[in-house]
Amino acid sequence: MIDEIHAARDEALRRVEAAAGVADLDGAESALLGKRSALAALRQRLGALDPDERREAGRALNEARARVEEALAARRSELAAGARADRLEAERLDLTEVVPTRRRGHLHLVTQTRDRLEDVFVGMGFVVAEGPEVETDWYNFEALNMPPAHPARSMWDTLYVDLGPPESTLLRTHTSPVQVRVMQAQSPPIYAVMPGRTYRRDTADASHLPVFHQIEGLVVDRRITFGDLAGTIEAFTNAYFGPDIHTRLRPSYFPFTEPSAEFDITCVFCKGDGCRSCGQVGWLELGGCGMVHPNVFRAVGYDPEEWTGFAFGFGIDRMTASRHGIDDLRELLSNDIRFLEQF
Ligand code: FA5
């Protein structure tokens, strides 16, 4: 009987060792220790033994069962550790891995447009300048011929910064303050463009964003005329949009230019025939422009009798939308990879 018990124990230990996985081990456990196991069958035969043999065989059976239970527990934790290691290996993320089939990221569409515009203007002989996004009231308004309480200030819904005296510091509402900084920094002649981010208390909708981009142009030289301004705008829109797109100027008002105009381009969707995007007029508004006001020249110490110039400013986001047929500016900020990947 003792030999049979040892044989059943050794067989059970072999099966435990041979279990290939936790599920395998669960199946083995009931076969080795359950009611129909070899050890259970041997226990049933104890009753037929005489008392001394029964005691000895009973002890041997208890020891055999304890050994098998121990072996099961040890094998179970061994298999669980192996399964966890396999899962970790399978789920491992190598953040340094370069997967050649994946497409790499690229510049945002607005940045691409800004770069292209800069290229077009540099090709026309302009230099690129930049200025701060947090500005003083003087640069954003006063030097641009808008003294305190000038009604034209309400043309721009301004976001003020809590710095210094009330309403003395702001997020620039347009790129025009950079004109002033460029003129202060150098003497004429000036042929410069100034791209950058601008801020207004505008609610986001299909054609407005509270944070958007403009590009400003400034020319200061002798005998500059309105014809030079119109020709420059026509030349860059042709270079950017292609020869089918033309410009027109409409009389307007800006405190820092006189005369002032707004400029439109041929609607890129209907090529001038009239459609929903352009409100059936065949033209899309792009920006403002005009001849630099003598008071702006005075603010930076230029003699308005000696120097003449023009300036223009237009929205890069709206220009991007026009060129790529995007009918809602908010798409540009949605960070939806399916949208961004198209460009
Ligand atoms: C100006 O900001 C003037 N500084 C432009 C200028 C410069 C005139 C130099 C004369 C000489 P305006 O507020 O119209 O003008 O804005 C110019 C352009 O910015 C608009 O035509 C439009 O294309 C864009 N823009 C204005 N507000 C928004 C907005 N909330 N979201 C997106 N684009 C905007």
| Residue 172 CB neighbours (<10 A) | 25
* From 314, 322, 330, 332, mutation site for ligand 1 pocket: most ligand atoms within 8 A of C-beta: 314
Number of residues assigned to the chain: 343
Question: pTM for the complete prediction?
Answer: 0.72
CB of 29 sitting under 6 A from ligand 1: no
CB of 212 sitting under 6 A from ligand 1: yes
Distance 214 CA to ligand 1 centre (A): 7
* From 145, 172, 253, 254, mutation site for ligand 1 pocket: most ligand atoms within 8 A of C-beta: 254
Give the residue whose CA is nearest to atom 29 of ligand 1.
208
**Strand boundaries in the chain, DSSP class E:** 127-128, 134-136, 159-160, 169-171, 190-199, 211-221, 247-254, 257-266, 283-292, 308-315
CB of 202 sitting under 6 A from ligand 1: yes
Q: Where are the domains of the chain?
A: 2-91, 109-340
Distance 190 CA to ligand 1 centre (A): 22
Give the residue whose CA is nearest to atom 26 of ligand 1.
315
For domain 109-340, the CATH architecture is 2-Layer Sandwich (3.30)
In order along its 343 residues, the chain shows pLDDT tens digits of 888 899 889 988 999 898 888 888 888 888 888 888 888 888 888 888 888 888 898 898 889 899 999 999 999 998 888 888 888 888 877 778 776 766 678 999 999 999 999 999 999 999 999 999 999 999 999 999 999 989 888 889 999 999 999 899 999 999 999 999 999 999 999 999 999 999 999 999 988 999 999 999 999 999 999 999 999 999 999 998 888 888 999 999 999 999 999 999 998 888 889 887 788 899 988 899 999 999 999 999 999 999 999 999 999 999 999 889 898 999 999 888 889 888 8
Distance 239 CA to ligand 1 centre (A): 21
Report the pLDDT value the prediction gives residue 307, as an integer from 0 to 100. Answer: 98
Angle formed by the axes of helices 226-241 and 316-324, nearest 10°: 40
Atom of ligand 1 nearest to the CA of 218: 9
Task: Choose among 116, 100, 120: nearest CA to 108.
Answer: 116
Atom of ligand 1 nearest to the CA of 174: 2
Distance 286 CA to ligand 1 centre (A): 8
| Residue 276 CB neighbours (<10 A) | 9
Assigned token pair, 200 = 């207004």
Give the residue whose CA is nearest to atom 2 of ligand 1.
174
CB of 208 sitting under 6 A from ligand 1: yes
Contact 309, 220 (CB under 8 A): yes
SS3 readout for 15-27 = HHHHCCCHHHHHH
Report the pLDDT value the prediction gives residue 276, as an integer from 0 to 100. Answer: 78
Report the pLDDT value the prediction gives residue 294, as an integer from 0 to 100. Answer: 98
Report the pLDDT value the prediction gives residue 190, as an integer from 0 to 100. Answer: 98
Atom of ligand 1 nearest to the CA of 210: 30
Residue type, 290: G
C-alpha dist (Å) from residue 146 to 102, 150, 258, 291, 314: 53, 5, 13, 16, 20
CB of 263 sitting under 6 A from ligand 1: no
Report the pLDDT value the prediction gives residue 102, as an integer from 0 to 100. Answer: 67
CB of 312 sitting under 6 A from ligand 1: yes
Contact 109, 324 (CB under 8 A): yes
Distance 241 CA to ligand 1 centre (A): 19
Beta bridge partners of 285: 264
Distance 341 CA to ligand 1 centre (A): 28
